[in-house]
Structure 1
Amino acid sequence: MKFNIIFFILINLQAAMTIFNFNSESNLTNWRIVHDVVMGGKSDGNFSLNKVGHGLFKGKVSLENNGGFSMVQYSFDTKNVSDYSKVVLKLKGDGKTYQFRIKSNNNDYYSYVSSFETTGDWEVIEIPFKEFYAAFRGRKLNQENYPGKQMEMVAFLIGNKIAESFELELESIVLK
């Protein structure tokens, strides 16, 4: 019985993998903005650290010239994520819907996507890997969901098919 309890505790103490933990010393070099201006749109987003050291993704989505999205993405060296099963985001949104995106390989033309709604308060959003579907340019692809083997990029995207301002404050991105 004692062995079973210790084993259970060890399983539950499996270390989480931190993808990014924001603080006043955070280096945002590998974070970059991509928005619809690549297609002629006029959306405008930016990414910075706020006064308390949280990541701040904010701006305006415009539908002009067939636009309609803004995204911030973070690229990193390949991470083996096969020991994990979900993404855990600690953030404060603005009541709007966002997408969290994963790329297994930076060279893939598609991303694995899952949408989440924000409440306007600080919250923890947990998204199981199995909920991330493959998509390209807003279209779901006919292939398996995220296999959860490796990861090289994560991103937040807003594109709700309406013109709107947005603000998403980020504290951490962790795998469990």
Structure 2
Amino acid sequence: MSSQQTPSDGVLFDFTRGDATVEWSAIDDAVMGGISRSRLSYTTDGYAVFEGEVSLANGGGFASVRCRPLPLGLAGATVCRIEVMGDGRRYKLNLRTEDTFDGVNYQVRFDPPAHEWLPISLPLTSFAPSWRGRPVPDAPRLDPARIRQVGLMIADRQAGPFRLAIRRISLTRDPGAFETE
């Protein structure tokens, strides 16, 4: 069974399954000379962990992971849900509508609670378009039917180790429809 569900059920990634992290890879600040490092890996406790260390050395300051381009869109979706347990740090969820490596990225910040599982609802209208961390005010609005890539990021000059546990990422048309197991 694939780690990625059919777009009609709204579940983009179910990290309670061991194969869900296969589609993901790290894209850290090394692309611009930094030395931060990260990874997304499955734990035998039944969830994935985005972890590593952010360094501000060499002009760096971010770590991220992203899935390869996949047909993830859900027409009419209004909310992205992420079930996470944080470490007290701020993260970003990124959505892309193109298959390219570098292009417009729609992102929103979220502050997951430390040491507590929580489903977080992120209205798609709150995802702001950016390119390499800079706002893109003339970009089109995020079209949920066209979502092709999902990513997680830690930035904002937050140096040091980090750890974000993730159970699932979903799109929904109904803000009250998310259930945790």
Tell me if both proteins adopt one fold, taking TM over 0.5 as the criterion.
yes
Q: Mapping of 1:121-140 within 5 angstroms? A: 121-140=116-135
The alignment partner of 2:61 has SS state of coil
Following superposition, the deviation at residue 38 of structure 1 comes to 1.1
Q: Give the greater-gyration-radius structure (CA).
A: 1
**Unaligned ranges ≥5, structure 1:** 1-14
Alignment-derived partner of residue 142 in structure 1:
137
Q: Secondary structure at the match of 1:162?
A: coil
Residue matched to 1:65: 58
CA-atom RMSD in angstroms: 1.5
Query: What TM-score comes out, normalization by structure 1 length?
Result: 0.86
* CA displacement at 1:82 relative to structure 2: 1.3
Distance across 2 between alignment mates of 1:58 and 1:125: 19
1:60, 1:166 within 8 Å by CA — same for their partners in 2? yes
Greater mean alpha carbon deviation, residues 70-79 or residues 126-135: 70-79
CA distance in 2, matches of 1:136, 1:76: 18
Task: Determine the structure 1 residue equivalent to 2:156.
Answer: 160
Q: Percent identity?
A: 26
Distance in 1, matches of 2:17 and 2:68, equals 20
Q: Deviation digits for residues 83-122 of structure 1, max 9, x if unmatched? A: 3111000010111110000001122611001000121121
Taking structure 1 as reference, are residues 162 and 27 closer, same or farther at Cα in structure 2, changes over 3 Å only?
A: closer
Q: Secondary structure at the match of 2:70?
A: strand
Q: Could you tell me whether the CA contact under 8 Å between 1:99 and 1:115 is conserved in 2?
A: yes
Name the structure where strand makes up a greater proportion of residues: 1
**SS where residue 115 of structure 1 aligns?**
strand
Q: Which residue of 2 aligns with 1:171?
A: 167
TM-score in terms of structure 2 length? 0.84
Equivalent residues of 2:80, 2:169 under 8 A apart: yes
* Alpha-carbon separation, structure 1, partners of 2:72 and 2:16: 22
Q: Which runs of 5+ in 2 are unaligned?
A: 1-7, 173-181
- The equivalent of 1:99 in structure 2 is 92
* AA in 1 matched with 2:40: F
Counterpart of 1:125 in 2: which secondary structure? strand
Q: Contact (CA 8 Å) 1:131, 1:145: kept in 2 or not? A: no
CA distance in 1, matches of 2:157, 2:62: 8
The 1-side partners of 2:73 and 2:85 are apart by: 28
